[in-house]
Chain A
Amino acid sequence: MPLIEINDFSFKYYGAETLALKKIDLTIEAGEYVVITGPSGCGKTTLCRTINALVPQFHRGYIAGNVVIDGKNTREHTVAELSSIAGLVFQQPENQLVTLNVEKEIAFGPENLGVEPAEIRRRVEELIELFDLEHLRDKHPHEMSGGEQQRVAMAATLALKPKILVADEPTSNLDPKSAEIILDFISSLNKRDMTVILVEHRLDLVSKDAGRVVLMDKGSIVADGHPRKILSQDICQDIGVGVPKATLVYKRLKEHGIDLNSVPLTGDELAGLVKEVSSL
């Protein structure tokens, strides 16, 4: 049974004029690394929130269809119940750090669910080590950089030991280097069997690690497949999605009649492919 099953799911926020999600069909197996992207307003943010039941339990509206996460239908289970299955990391670190130091922040989730104090302490220590937060242990959120705050936010989300990590544009407010660090963390989590769903505009940073790209536009899924297959299609540019530059070069070369053997997602891949073709 797939970990995430979204069946014919539609959603309209109360007071909205149009559907935020239109008949979404999406199945995700355990261990996948899925990138969701699309122009502003395409519904990717709403989609993230369906995975831990914020939609429809917290964000009320009209729903049709079903979302089943690890066997639990989100119509019938609370966000709290799903919090130990799917963890959500949001765009603004400032709004995710609600306590006054890192230890308390990481402990927040497990405390809410009534986990044994000794176990909470164990998890806190584990996560501080995993995310390299030792030097930040007693710091106030204000004393940290955006990248550090986001690492703490991720640690706090993982304290509930979810199987799925959903990250909604976690690097938007970070400088490129910090963004890379966060994305590397996410990628390494995936290598350790965490199912990852990442909403990201910067496809040049994530497409090389992702196993799957889901393209959304105006509330619907318009493409779904391997990054190399999806990002080379014209639909990306049609809807206004920022395709990696190396992939764009691949497409332009095709117009010149030059066919590289596969679709490059990074500068190095492009160079390698050119070398291959040139030595033919």
Chain B
Amino acid sequence: MSFLEVFQYTRQESIMHSLDPRAKLLLAIVLAVISLLFLEIFPLLIILAVLIPLMAAAKSLRRWLRSMKGLSVLLIFILIFNTLLSTYPNPLNYSIALVLRLIALMTSFSSFFLTVQPDELSQALIQMRVRFEFAFAMSMAMRYVPTLGQEAYAIMDTQKARGVELDKGNILARIRNIIPIIVPLIIVSIRRALLIAESMESRGFGASKNRTYMEKLSFKKRDWAVCIVSLIALVLVFYIRLYIPLPDWSIPL
């Protein structure tokens, strides 16, 4: 599960962190699309050579490496099996490219999630005309995820203290033992939701169609720069893909 670390926001001061989330969203999508255009090793390596400095710009290189380490087993698995089972002319090549593409895709999206605070994301969505209730529901879900996690652990502890053995028995027994965990979790969550609703209602939630926002996101010069560069890069890469033949850099098997 540690590979998920690269999708978790961390509060930091970096160039990437200071960009507008909408610019970063465009960047991430463009990078992902570019990654999907290629299945050859050379271009993918170039893409990664662009992505890794991006991770560094987000001051998250170490996180990225840790996540990759966590993913390494899966990646090697993909590599081996695809090499053995592939019907492509040069299976090893193909498999390596697949793995590189996977890494590129993950890194593209992680550049977004690592550097965008859930509140910023919610604000970005609102300014992109998503309805407030939906955007807020999303950021609230993120806010309460750690709380829910703690609650789940507390429930497990409580039931274990009554003698429920969660890690013993066959498949059937283990599934049955989920009930004493899930039921309280659901009930507690519903109770909590009602209390949260009371607090929100008491502060006027949903009252006005003209909700205001204390801090609005606005594009700065560098955000425009990022967007323009991303779009130019996208067009260029499409052009290359369609019209320019690539040198064959395959690894002979």
Question: Does B203 touch A at the CB level, under 8 Å?
Answer: yes
Report the Cα distance A90→B195, complex, angstroms: 9
CB pair B206–A112 under 8 Å, yes or no, is yes
Would you mind naming 8 contact pairs between A and B with Cβ atoms under 8 Å apart?
Answer: A49-B198, A54-B202, A79-B204, A87-B203, A88-B202, A112-B211, A113-B204, A141-B143
Which residues of chain A come closer than 8 Å to B202, judged between CB atoms? 52, 54, 79, 83, 87-88, 157
CA distance A268 to B92 in the complex (A): 85
Besides the contacts A90-B198, A100-B118, what 8 more A-B pairs have beta carbons closer than 8 Å? Answer: A88-B198, A95-B195, A98-B200, A99-B119, A99-B139, A109-B204, A112-B211, A116-B212
The range of chain B's interface size is 20 to 34
Q: Determine which of A107, A112, A141 lies in contact with B205 in the assembled complex, contact meaning CB atoms within 8 Å.
A: A112
CB contacts under 8 Å to A, within B115-156, are: 117-119, 139-140, 142-143, 146-147
A50 to B203, CA, bound (A): 15
- Pair count A-B, CB < 8 A: 109
CB distance from A109 to the nearest CB of B (A): 4
- Check B143–A157 contact: CB distance below 8 A: no
Q: Which of A21-29, A117-125, A269-277 faces chain B?
A: A117-125
Q: Restricting to A83-103, which residues have a CB under 8 Å from any CB of B?
A: 83-84, 87-88, 90, 92, 94-96, 98-101, 103
CB proximity of A22 to chain B, nearest CB, Å:
23
The distance from the CB of A275 to the nearest CB of chain B, in whole angstroms, is: 47
Bound complex: CA of A92 vs CA of B194, how far in Å?
A: 12
In chain B, positions 187-235 with a C-beta closer than 8 Å to chain A are: 192, 195-208, 210-216
On whether the beta carbons of A113 and B139 are closer than 8 Å, the reply is no
* B162 contacts A by Cβ under 8 Å: no
Q: Does B176 interact with chain A (Cβ within 8 Å)?
A: no
Of chain B, the residue at the smallest CB distance from A98 is: B140
Complex interface: chain A residues within 8 A of B201 (CB): 54, 58, 79-80
By a CB distance below 8 angstroms, the chain B residues around A108 are 200, 203, 205
Contact A121–B204 (Cβ < 8 Å)? no
Residue among A99, A156, A160 with the highest chain B CB neighbour number at 10 A: A99
The answer to whether A117 and B204 touch (CB under 8 A), given A90-B195, A94-B147, A95-B192, is: no
Q: How many residues of A contact B (CB 8 A)?
A: 46
Contact of A113 among B143, B195, B196, B207 (CB under 8 A): B207
| A114 lies within 8 A of chain B by Cβ | yes
A87 vs B143: C-alpha distance when bound (angstroms):
23
Bound Cα distance from A120 to B212, whole angstroms: 9
**Considering only CB atoms, which chain A residue lies closest to B202 in the complex?**
A88
Q: A160 — which chain B residues lie within 8 A by C-beta?
A: 203-204
Which of A88, A104, A114, A141 sits near B212, CB closer than 8 Å?
A114
Q: Who on chain B is nearest to A86 by CB?
A: B202
Decide if A117 touches B212 in the complex (CB within 8 Å).
yes
The residue that B207 contacts in the complex, of A58, A78, A98, with Cβ under 8 A, is A78
Judge whether B11 is part of the interface by a CB distance below 8 angstroms: yes
How far in angstroms is the closest Cβ of chain A from B80? Answer: 41
Interchain CA distance A49-B214 in the complex, whole Å: 29
A-B CB proximity, top 5 nearest? A80-B207, A112-B204, A109-B203, A95-B195, A107-B214
